[in-house]
Structure 1
Amino acid sequence: MTLGLINANPVVHAKKERIARPEDFHPDEAVDPIDVFDFVRDIRDPEHPYSLEQLSVLSQESITVDEKLGRIQITFTPTVQHCSMATVIGLCLRLKLMQCFPPHFKVDIKVSPGSLADEESVNKQLNDKERVAAALENPNLRQLVDECLYSNELYS
């Protein structure tokens, strides 16, 4: 069992300037990768006081949207090959998108190919509705996800 942080000294990048969007944005209207990124960029990493954007776990370029098919795909890159928090990061992304976009959007969340030792297993977990629902029913895991989703809102 590993004690302490998996990646004790992550590389931290500057946050990019926010793209100004109309105050009346509504997710029932056309959605593009910028909109999606704007909702998920401030999710805090489970191990560090930095956002997924600051750690380059997530970028606008890692998000695709197909309006016609109602599909949002996010590919994220953990900071280390053996990241034990990859599933938590994916759950955070999924829950945030579930809260921000209508249910007709199909959301696929995947780990960048080759970026994680157990990539296939994590991808399977993150895209299985029953596994996601069961994970979010676990009070300790749900508390961790909520902390990642809402802690940065205080400082934005």
Structure 2
Amino acid sequence: MVSELINANPVIYGKKERRVRSVPSAADENAVEPIDQEEIFDHIRDIKDPEHPYSLEELKVISEDAIEVDDVRGHVRVTFTPTVEHCSMATVIGLCLRVKLLRSLPSRFKVDIRVAPGSHATEASVNKQLNDKERVAAALENPNVVEMVDECLTPSYE
């Protein structure tokens, strides 16, 4: 984790109660449930912040309301809000969101990650980096970046 914190005292919020998923019966085992906003949120809610021992959900960096899903077209958009306007970890957070969803979703989905409008000083630059395939691929070739992303994606058992 980072030694010098940009936001040393973040506000911590409660977690939303988890949805209980039904197990398909034998008759339904070939049925495919559409992927919805709540399912996407369940995939990303426990990603740890790179600077703090809290999840992105607890810091309100992500919320279910900021997720758009078009299952038919295979498109997911996640808009996240850094805790401070000059968050140096915004691209790492976005990369964590992208990697988690790419590992979790069927390959037919296109993932779009965005910083909430007006929430970051270099919003356009961060959005460009997070949605450029070559830049993402280059970042994921850097062992230090991959280690940081994997650390954020490692589940914590509370």
TM-score by length of 2: 0.91
CA positional deviation for 1:55: 0.1
CA positional deviation for 1:29: 3.6
Q: Which residue in 1 is equivalent to 2:7?
A: 7
1:97 is paired with a residue whose SS is helix
The alignment's C-alpha RMSD in Å is 1.7
1:154 is paired with a residue whose SS is coil
Matches of 2:120 and 2:75, distance apart in 1: 24
2:76 is paired with a residue whose SS is strand
Matches of 2:53 and 2:40, distance apart in 1: 22
1:141 to 131, 134, 145: 145
Q: Deviations over 1:54-107 (max 9, x none)?
A: 000000111010112110000000000000000000000000001000111011
Matches of 1:57 and 1:121, distance apart in 2: 18
Q: Does 1:154 align with 2:156?
A: yes
Kindly provide the amino acid, as one letter, of the partner of residue 118 in structure 2.
Answer: G
Kindly provide the amino acid, as one letter, of the partner of residue 52 in structure 1.
Answer: L
Kindly provide the amino acid, as one letter, of the partner of residue 132 in structure 1.
Answer: V
Q: Which residue in 2 is equivalent to 1:31?
A: 35
Matches of 1:43 and 1:23, distance apart in 2: 25
Q: Deviations over 1:97-129 (max 9, x none)?
A: 010001110111000000000000000000011
2:97 to 85, 93, 112: 93
Kindly provide the amino acid, as one letter, of the partner of residue 66 in structure 1.
Answer: D
Kindly provide the amino acid, as one letter, of the partner of residue 123 in structure 2.
Answer: E
CA positional deviation for 1:23: 4.5
User: What percentage of residue pairs aligned between the two structures are identical?
Assistant: 62
CA positional deviation for 1:154: 3.4
Matches of 2:140 and 2:151, distance apart in 1: 13
TM-score by length of 1: 0.92
Kindly provide the amino acid, as one letter, of the partner of residue 154 in structure 1.
Answer: S
Matches of 1:22 and 1:129, distance apart in 2: 35
Matches of 1:34 and 1:74, distance apart in 2: 12
Deviant stretches of 4+, over 2 Å: 22-26
CA positional deviation for 1:131: 0.6
